[in-house]
Amino acid sequence: MHNPANQDRDSVRAPRVNVPNKEQAVVALGTQRILGVLCKLSVTGGSLRLSKPMSKGTVADLTIRATSGPITSAIEFLGPAHRGALPPQAFRFIHMGPAESRRLENALEEIRKQGFGEKQDWRFHPLTRGALRTVKSITRKRS
């Protein structure tokens, strides 16, 4: 079983994609089904717009229809939902089977091929952080 939450916290952030075409997802919270629109997606989580805000820590099941087949995963909602107009709400995958994990990776690759991948911010790459620390220490020594 693949557990995306077990990844090294200091690693590079998972590449995200902007989900095109207002793709829908279904959030199952007990017997309640809530329809949402996917905004961003990565192998570790994403964000979606819901008609109803979810509290931080709420655990639910998310189903996404991909061309490679359905992707169903347990998710945890992150951060408080803001008041007023509902912004996209972040979530993280907490449990996903190997078949769903492969489908998700295939779907992300297809979306990237369509040009919807986000550019990586070089400031968050581990080598860049180390290089910046070295430059700062050299600069301090010269001052």
Better-scored residue on pLDDT, 43 or 2: 43
Question: In the prediction, which pLDDT does 38 show?
Answer: 93
Question: In the prediction, which pLDDT does 130 show?
Answer: 67
Question: In the prediction, which pLDDT does 96 show?
Answer: 93
> Side-chain half-sphere of 6: how many Cα atoms within 13 Å?
5
Interval 74-133: pLDDT, tens: 999 997 656 656 789 999 999 999 999 999 999 999 888 888 887 655 555 556 666 667
C-alpha distances (whole Å) from 54 to each of 8, 32, 39, 43, 49 are 26, 13, 16, 21, 10
* Domain total in the chain: 1
Q: Domain holding 130: CATH number?
A: 2.40.10.220
Give the structural domain span for 55.
4-142
Interval 11-26: pLDDT, tens: 566 788 888 888 999 9
Contacts of 53 (CB under 8 A, 6+ apart): 81, 82, 86, 89
The structure tokens 């907490």 sit at 94
- Average pLDDT (44-68) is 91
Q: What is the pTM of this model?
A: 0.71
CA distance 125 to 133: 13
